[in-house]
Amino acid sequence: MRWRFVKSQAGILPLYAEESANEISANPLYMLRDVRTNPTRVNLGASRKGESPFGVRAGIRVTLNDDLFDDHVGDFYLADRPARKDSATWGQLFKARNPFYPGCIIRNYKGYRGQALADMEQALFFLNSVQGPNNGTITLEGDDPLQFADDKKAQFPRSTDIRLVGAIDATSTVIRVFGRAIDLSDNFGISALDYIRIRSEVIGFTGFTDEGDGEFLLTGVTRGTRGTAAGAHGDGEGCQRVGAFDNQLMYEVVEYLLKSHTQVPDAYVNAGGQWDTEGAQFLPTFRTTATITKPEPVQKLCGQLCRDGLFSIWWDERAQVIPLLAVRPPQETPIVITGDLNILSDSAAVSERPDDRMTRVTVLYGQRNPTESLDNYGNFAFRRIRIDGEVELAVATDGTIRENEIFSRWIRTQTNAFLLAAQLLLRYRLPPRYVTLSLDAKDRAISVGDVLDVTTREILDTEGQEVETRWQVISFEETDPGTTVRLELQSYQFVGKFAVIMANDAPDYATATAAQRLVGCWMAENDTELMPNGDDPYLLQ
């Protein structure tokens, strides 16, 4: 059933549709009082501390006048029911019939009078709360689909009720357990073996046989795997399924976690293969082998992977997909925004977050024993430190060392540790800056993740002149539908032309197109260190 609500003055034409006996879309009910939305605010690379790795998620709050309702649509058995003694409101009936809201969706349409619904811009949210009726109103609240990865809604691996049957010593491979078959057969990761944990030991197995009465015999047992040591265990000790990944691309692990261990609809993740296209071009070396031995929030694990794998994901409420974006130079020409042509008067404001500044980044990687605490300094084989000595000088700042220490269960190579440390320091060596500004609706095609070159009187050089600076969009909101949009931007670290490896048949610089020059690489002249036509040279990524 699809309910439609509009304000009393909206003047929406009848829209009733009956696609099937169980697929009815109601005519507009003139009950809508107010709609308030919170836009997505992406946490680029999950690197801003004190904030969800998914950033500030999109949300909606809809307030309805809870009018009396006679069930003229939606109740297929109205004629068979006894007459009501008392009147009922729409909200009372909805709550009585829907104690839970699985799969209930709120769509917020924004368009112009006379425009077909299909042509309007729409944002999608999942209903998670119905408050009221209260003083004649009822309130519907919804969040974006990434809510299903929240701490209380999705954990990996989930808790499993498995117990050891009979004591075993450190060499025994005959292991019987008591529990549910589904807890043994369900998939927990991407690995050749399945695993359980008993105290500080991880035990691998290839299958199991049902011995009746809830007992199972593990087959293909391997003791003391994944960096742990075999030990003796007593009858009745608890066993927990273990999540394991072997040589997997980090962004593919995020895709697996969202699709296989949350209620996030599959259609929103890697829609149209967008993740594969972005990952294949920019993230092919970020592979991981990792072990998760106790239930942890999927949101937390995805945040670690985004940080360590140098990419971001968020909910795009307008496109209704979860995009993936690598931390990388722009592949398209940045959009030019100026105070004269785009920015609405007195709408630009600049701020910074000094507490986010870093002068050095330490990455500990190569986790030895996955059953030990993640912040155990001695449980990591390797350490990579990146220091910006210039910003640590007393004459540059106050001489304070601001260190960001990362304990990574996902990073396995020195190269990836170096890239993570370098990128974080590049973005946060100076206090990260933010700009909020408003634009006319003609610029509504700008999206989260886009790169902008901005010129405004709020940003000046040392001579007091306006200077073009580069920013990345982290939030988009249409504050006045059809009229005004509001952007929040974060300072962007990639300025210049960045070189990439090209195909053998690529043209020379003189005959290359502007698009080819943006995503290619040519050597500069030896004598001038410029391109043949005087353009700036390329920078190696």
One-letter-per-residue 3-state SS of 409-446: CCCCCHHHHHHHHHHHHHHHCCCCEEEEEEEEHHHCCC
What is the secondary structure of 219-288 as a DSSP string? ES-BSS-TT-----B-TT-EEEE-EEEEEEEHHHHHHHHHHHHS-S-GGGBSGGGHHHHHHHHH-TT-EE
Q: What is the reported pLDDT for 26? A: 76
Q: Is 186 helix (H, G, I), strand (E, B) or coil?
A: coil
CA distance 424 to 414: 16
- What Å distances lie between residue 404 and 59, 185, 304, 420, CA to CA? 31, 40, 14, 11
- pLDDT value, residue 368: 96
Query: How many CB atoms are closer than 10 A to CB 168?
Result: 23
Alpha helices, H only, 473-520: 514-518
Contacts of 316 (CB under 8 A, 6+ apart): 40, 322, 323, 447, 448
3-state secondary structure of 78: helix
Contact 471, 435 (CB under 8 A): yes
Q: Residue 18 has what pLDDT?
A: 64
Given a contact cutoff of 8 angstroms between Cβ atoms, the answer to whether 232 and 224 are in contact is no
CB 447 within 8 A of CB 473: yes
Based on DSSP, count helices (H) and strands (E) in the chain, helices before strands. Answer: 8, 33
Residues in the chain: 541
Nearest residue to 315 via CA among 127, 492, 476: 476
pLDDT at 84: 63
> What pLDDT score does 85 carry?
56
At residue 32, the 3 state secondary structure works out as strand
pLDDT at 316: 92
Residue indicated by tokens 């809510």: 147
Closest C-alpha among 436, 423, 420, 422 to residue 474: 436
Side chain identity, residue 399: G
pLDDT of res. 498: 67
pLDDT at 11: 58
pLDDT along the chain (541 residues), means of 10: 79 64 74 92 87 88 90 67 72 85 85 80 90 91 93 94 97 97 97 97 98 97 98 97 98 98 96 96 96 97 96 92 94 92 94 90 97 95 93 75 94 95 91 94 92 94 93 93 91 77 83 80 80 78 51
pLDDT at 418: 95
- Cβ atoms of 269 and 149 within 8 Å: the answer is no
